[in-house]
Structure 1
Amino acid sequence: MAVRIVDDLQQFSLLLMFLSTLIFYRYLKKIKRERKLTSFEWTMYFVTQFATSIWAITYCIKFLSES
């Protein structure tokens, strides 16, 4: 029972991190249209794209391996 709760909390935290990453990516995309990104913003723009892609790929692999 406790393991199930911890697993659910972990999944919920991953979902929140994923959503916040998408929101931050959209914010950076908006700024990119308005002006040139700073080096830090450009780095974060790339990292959020890369992290989201890696998360999606690993999630699909994990989902397919459980089937």
Structure 2
Amino acid sequence: MNSKKTMERGSRRAPRGIEAPTVVLKDDLHVVDLGAGVMLDVFINVEGRLTTFVSLDGQLIAELRVAGHA
């Protein structure tokens, strides 16, 4: 039986053949290209709230807002 520490190490590795997401940092905007046309845009809006947009092939499919202040 594997120890918990060994299991945690194994779970951190990316599966073979899958590339890490591409991240673009520009001021308050963080863009993550998840591949297959899926993009994740994360930024802090003028109200100081964290906002995330999920898009597929350039079409917005979800907007997520987190309550709180920057």
Same fold (TM over 0.5): no
More strand by share: 2
Highest Rg: 1 or 2?
2
TM-score of the two chains, using structure 2 as the length reference: 0.22
TM-score of the two chains, using structure 1 as the length reference: 0.22
